[in-house]
Amino acid sequence: MRVQVVIIGAGPSGLLLAHLLRRSGVETAVLERRQRGHVLARIRAGVLEWGTVETLREAGLGARMEREGHVHEGTYFSARNRGFRIPLAVLAGRPVMVYGQTEVTKDLYVAHDDAGTLIVDGAEGVTIHEAGGAAPFVTYVKDGVGRRIDADFVVGCDGFHGVSRRTIPATVLKEYERVYPFGWLGVLSESKPVSGELIYAQHERGFALCSMRNEGLSRYYVQVPAGEEPEAWPDARFWSELRRRIPAEAAEALETGRVIEKSVAPLRSYVAEPMRWGRLFLVGDAAHIVPPTGAKGLNLAVSDVRYLHEALAAFYRDRDETGIEGYSARALARIWKAVRFSWSLTTMLHRFPEQTAFDLRMQEAELDWLEGSEAAQRALAENYVGLPY
């Protein structure tokens, strides 16, 4: 079998790229290791930059997001149980949208089902061949039968643990990494969100975040040591720890409902360069990871997809290769700024094991400055709502 572009991974990167390419008349096949039910059960991102919202709208994927998503014009920060608000839309000219990654992924699957895109789930042993040459192909096993797809290009949208990045020779790939000595324990709870807007809370016991999915579904996180098991956190322990870290009024108002998901996510900053090797491109988490503190991971995946879609569409339309040649540098320029932002928010808000009394004071002074300075708030807001493409 032959298609123009083979995409590995049916997360948001792979599904959105396939969707945009189909609208530009480019034929794709998407290979996903997992079953669709598994992909849709993953609870991940919650906050969309306005550029992501516009990208989804322009792609004809905005209808349910308009109805069910929530526009947030501000967000709260808190230091030592006292909160203050940053008016994002006033300072940066744009709000953000709270609409879960799970919902974005569902909308994409519905669009692909309607259009009849080839999405192979349960594709095992996906292997990329000859990506450095002119005629790449991909092999995999489905239902015990070996298969092969030839293509002009292969796109790795297969997340941090995928095969695509590892296909690039070690002599070519340069990796940059910081692993943080903590993770986030996340809880999805059937309860009314404690606040109409998100609360990012710094506290000497560790960071906490109050987020949401809708009026009846809250998403909360507390910082825990790296390697912590969710089983060490029965519901009562989680709620009591959360209450201790958030603003006093929020702690009082907190409603605890049935917990329907609980998991620990490790925190890391990671970038692989370049994001193209011959006829193989990397997109999204396959090339970079940010700690979730800045809510940037999914949004970066979307900006990579925008750039690569533009490049491939120009190639097929006009045989113009400039976009393809420039993809990696263009994507990385935006990525590094989001990596910096996510790292700096993480550093400002988390408790580090080796942190001294002096370091704690530095965090508190930074938050105090943020509370009192419009310039500081504007800088944060500009990054949080998303830098231009």
Which residues are annotated as catalytic? 72, 200, 292, 296, 384
Task: State the nearest-atom distance from the C-beta of 328 to ligand RFL, in Å.
Answer: 16
What string marks each residue from 282 to 301 as x (binds ligand PHB by CB under 6 A) or -?
----------xx-x------
List contacts with ligand RFL (CB under 6 A).
8-14, 31-34, 39, 44-47, 101, 123, 126, 157-159, 161-163, 184, 186, 265, 284-285, 292, 295-299, 301
Residue nearest to ligand PHB (CB): 46
Nearest Cα residue to 108 out of 310, 334, 298: 298
Q: Does 95 bind ligand PHB (CB under 6 A)?
A: no
Binder to ligand PHB among 219, 288, 306, 334 (CB under 6 A)?
Answer: 219
Letters for 162-201 (x = contact with ligand PHB by CB under 6 A, - = none) are ------------------------------------x---
Q: What is the smallest separation between the CB atom of 129 and ligand PHB, expressed in angstroms?
A: 37
Spatial distance between the Cα atoms of 287 and 277, rounded to a whole number of angstroms: 12
The answer to whether residue 47 forms part of the interface with ligand PHB (CB under 6 A) is yes
In the complex, the smallest distance separating the C-beta of residue 376 from ligand RFL, rounded to whole angstroms, is 22
Q: Kindly list the distances between the CA atom of residue 131 and the CA atoms of 39, 281, 309, in Å, as whole numbers in the listed order.
A: 27, 9, 19
Which of ligand RFL, ligand PHB, none is residue 79 near (CB under 5 to 8 Å by kind)?
none
In this complex, which beta carbon is closest to ligand PHB, that of residue 47 or of residue 289? 47
Q: Which of ligand PHB, ligand RFL, none is residue 219 near (CB under 5 to 8 Å by kind)?
A: ligand PHB
The entry of ligand RFL, ligand PHB, none that residue 293 binds, CB within 5 to 8 Å by partner kind: ligand PHB
User: Least distance (Å) from ligand PHB to the CB of residue 124?
Assistant: 30
Nearest distance, CB of residue 223 and ligand RFL, angstroms: 12
Q: How far is the CB of 70 from ligand PHB (least distance, A)?
A: 11
Looking at residue 323, its amino acid is G
- Only segment of 40-48, 54-62, 163-171, 304-312 that touches ligand PHB (CB under 6 A): 40-48
Q: Which two tokens stand for residue 341?
A: 């932002």
Given the rule CB under 6 A, which residues bind ligand PHB?
45-47, 198, 211, 219, 292-293, 295
